[in-house]
């Protein structure tokens, strides 16, 4: 069971409606496969053992064999080049919790605030493969991003 900062309880199998209001950012790197943007919410953790650079990559195209994650850009990443400004956020998405991680003390990931509880989610229409190494996307329940989470149903 996971508890967010508002005291809500989540568990594996729960179906959530998630969204995040878009924030303006700038593209700092681009490849044929993804664009990297300055992350508008988290701050670099000066006490971290890791050297996060304050950026996050967004895939240019949805791959058929894996989900590219919650966050999207407007305009779409396939239209962005280095130096462009765009919006980044989460359009309203229905997801299912497939795993939960609890960290006490909060985990050192390179940014602040350090995560205490993270849930791994997949779109509700995507099957879960428990043997996949990198499946789903992570929602940090302590995130500085204004992620809105609504519990729709309990497994």
Q: How many CB atoms within 10 Å of residue 89?
A: 19
The confidence score (pLDDT) of residue 65 equals 59
Q: Reply yes or no: is the peptide bond before residue 108 cis, omega within 30 of 0.
A: no
Tokens of 45: 């953790």
The confidence score (pLDDT) of residue 8 equals 66
Contacts of 47 (CB under 8 A, 6+ apart): none
* DSSP alpha helix (H) spans, the chain: none
Tokens of 55: 């950026």
Burial class, 9, CB count within 10 angstroms (exposed 0-12 / middle 13-18 / buried 19+): exposed
Give the side-chain half-sphere CA count within 13 A for 134.
Answer: 5
Tens of each residue's pLDDT in the chain, 155 residues: 665 545 668 999 999 999 999 999 999 999 999 999 999 998 999 999 999 999 999 998 766 556 778 999 999 999 999 999 999 999 999 999 999 999 999 999 999 999 999 999 999 987 777 666 667 899 999 889 999 999 999 97
123 close to 115: Cβ distance less than 8 angstroms: no
Separation of alpha carbons 104 and 115, rounded Å: 9
The confidence score (pLDDT) of residue 146 equals 95
pTM for this entry: 0.87
Q: What is the DSSP letter of 18?
A: E
The confidence score (pLDDT) of residue 49 equals 97
């Amino acid at each position: 069971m996971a508890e967010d900062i508002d005291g809500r309880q989540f568990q594996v199998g729960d179906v959530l409606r998630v969204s995040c209001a878009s924030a303006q950012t700038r593209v700092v790197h681009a490849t044929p496969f993804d664009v990297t943007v300055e992350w508008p919410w988290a701050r670099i953790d000066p006490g971290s053992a890791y050297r996060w650079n304050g950026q996050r990559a967004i895939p240019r195209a949805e791959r058929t064999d894996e989900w590219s994650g919650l966050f999207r850009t407007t305009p779409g990443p396939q239209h962005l080049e280095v130096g462009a400004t765009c919006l980044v956020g989460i359009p309203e998405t229905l997801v299912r919790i497939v795993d939960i991680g609890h960290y006490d003390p909060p985990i050192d990931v390179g940014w602040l605030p350090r995560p205490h509880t993270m849930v791994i989610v997949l779109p509700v229409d995507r099957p879960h493969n428990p043997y996949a190494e990198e499946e789903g996307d992570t929602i940090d329940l302590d995130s500085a991003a204004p992620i809105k989470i609504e519990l729709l149903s309990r497994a």
